[in-house]
């Protein structure tokens, strides 16, 4: 439930842009006009607009106005620069999702794991392997490692449902920042064993490092997607003011 004013305005403008009340290539009402409409200060309006600009919804033009550059997306896509769980993504794309836990153990981080995941050597971890089904097809293979101290009481039953739901709603922990690296890697024996592969010899791999509200990295995830069901969206803005 958004209580902050800028959040409310941000979401209201976002919906109006998505519904094309403010169509592609048109200008938004000027900041001063929005100030009158929402009965708030110009700073608050500017904060909402800058959030929309970051997501590629609008683009401000000095002396002119704020242009809408949002266009409806083309196909089912998996992430848009936010942090979404598998469940949330599937739901948003209108797909039937299910999960099978194929491994659930505990282990202690050694040198090799520390190098790959960033967990200090000696950390006690949960190690989980899951197969994700979309509309009945085995398409995604997930490997998760959680800091045991941060996610106590994890069970295979929770893993089969939604770990994020457990973390946020049951444990009350807040997930804040996630660093992700996308690569394309050759298929492994586990991919072949668990997934419905169509003679692809590569997988789209998203490696994620997730931090909680204390700034502590508590999760490493490797998510291996069958190429034809993978799509990753991103909006970049060119930094001004480079040296020279």
Partner DNA sequence: GCTATTGACTTGTTTAAACAAGTATGTTAT
Partner DNA sequence: ATAACATACTTGTTTAAACAAGTCAATAGC
Residue 46 in the binding site for a second copy (CB under 8 A)? no
Task: Decide: is 14 part of the binding site for DNA (CB under 7 A).
Answer: no
Listed ranges 63-71, 89-97, 130-138, 227-235: which one lies at the site for DNA (CB under 7 A): 63-71
| Contact string (CB under 7 A) for DNA, positions 68-87, x = contact | --------------------
Give CA separation, 243 vs 52, 237, 238, in Å. Answer: 27, 17, 14
Going by C-alpha positions, the residue among 113, 89, 87, 88 that lies closest to residue 98 is 87
Among 20, 21, 25, 30, binds DNA (CB under 7 A): 30
- The binding track of 100-139 with respect to a second copy, each residue x by CB under 8 A or -, is ------------------x---------------------
Give the number of other CB atoms < 10 A from CB of residue 230.
Answer: 19
- Find the binder of DNA among 11, 25, 32, 170 (CB under 7 A): 32
Q: In this structure, what are the phi and psi dihedrals at residue 165, rounded to the nearest 5 degrees?
A: -60, -45
Least gap, CB of 66 to a second copy (angstroms): 9
- Non-local CB neighbours of 49 within 8 Å, separated by 6+ positions: 13, 28, 31, 58, 60, 66
**CA separation, residue 235 to residues 46, 230, 239 (Å):** 19, 17, 13
Contact flag: residue 28 with DNA (CB under 7 A): yes
Residue 46 sits in the site that holds DNA (CB under 7 A): yes
Judged by DSSP in three states, 224 sits in strand
In angstroms, the CA 83 to CA 176 distance is 9
Q: Which stretch in 28-36, 66-74, 98-106, 130-138 sits in contact with a second copy by CB under 8 A?
A: 66-74
100's CB contacts (< 8 A; 6+ apart) are 130, 131, 133, 160
Under the binding rule (CB under 8 A), the answer on residue 29 touching a second copy is no
Distance CA 58, CA 115 (A): 40
204 binds a second copy (CB under 8 A): yes
189 or 237: CB nearest a second copy = 237
The pair of three-digit structure tokens given for residue 189, joined into one six-digit string:
């024996």
Least distance from a second copy to the Cβ atom of residue 118, Å: 7
Nearer to DNA, 16 or 193 (CB): 16
Residue 93 in contact with a second copy, rule: CB under 8 A = no
Task: Rule CB under 7 A: say whether 26 interacts with DNA.
Answer: no
34 exposure class (CB count in 10 Å sphere: 0-12, 13-18, 19+): buried
Interacting residue ranges for a second copy, rule: CB under 8 A: 1-4, 7, 25, 53-54, 56, 59, 61, 67-69, 71, 77, 79, 81-83, 118, 174-186, 199-204, 211, 213-215, 217, 225, 227-228, 230-244
């Amino acid at each position: 439930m958004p209580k902050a004013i800028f959040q409310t305005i941000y979401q209201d403008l976002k919906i109006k842009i998505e519904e094309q009340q403010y169509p592609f290539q048109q200008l938004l009402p000027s900041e001063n006009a929005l100030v009158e409409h929402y009965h708030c200060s110009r700073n608050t309006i500017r904060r909402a607009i800058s959030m929309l600009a970051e997501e590629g919804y609008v683009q401000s033009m000095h002396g002119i106005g704020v242009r809408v550059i949002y266009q409806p997306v083309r196909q089912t896509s998996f992430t848009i620069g936010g942090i979404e769980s598998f469940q949330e993504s599937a739901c948003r794309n209108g797909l039937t999702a299910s999960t099978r836990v194929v491994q659930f153990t505990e282990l202690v981080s050694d040198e090799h794991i520390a190098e790959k995941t960033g967990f200090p050597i000696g950390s006690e971890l949960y190690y989980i392997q899951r197969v994700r089904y979309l509309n009945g097809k085995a398409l995604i293979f997930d490997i998760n490692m959680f800091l045991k101290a941060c996610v106590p009481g994890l069970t295979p039953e929770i893993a089969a449902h939604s770990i994020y739901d457990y973390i946020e709603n049951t444990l009350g922990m807040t997930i804040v920042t996630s660093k992700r690296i996308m690569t394309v890697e050759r298929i492994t024996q586990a991919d072949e064993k668990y997934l419905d592969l169509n003679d692809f010899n590569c997988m789209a791999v998203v490696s994620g490092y997730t931090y909680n509200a204390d700034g502590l990295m508590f999760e490493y995830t490797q998510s291996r997607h069958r190429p034809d069901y993978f799509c990753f969206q991103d909006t970049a803005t060119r930094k001004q003011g480079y040296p020279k």
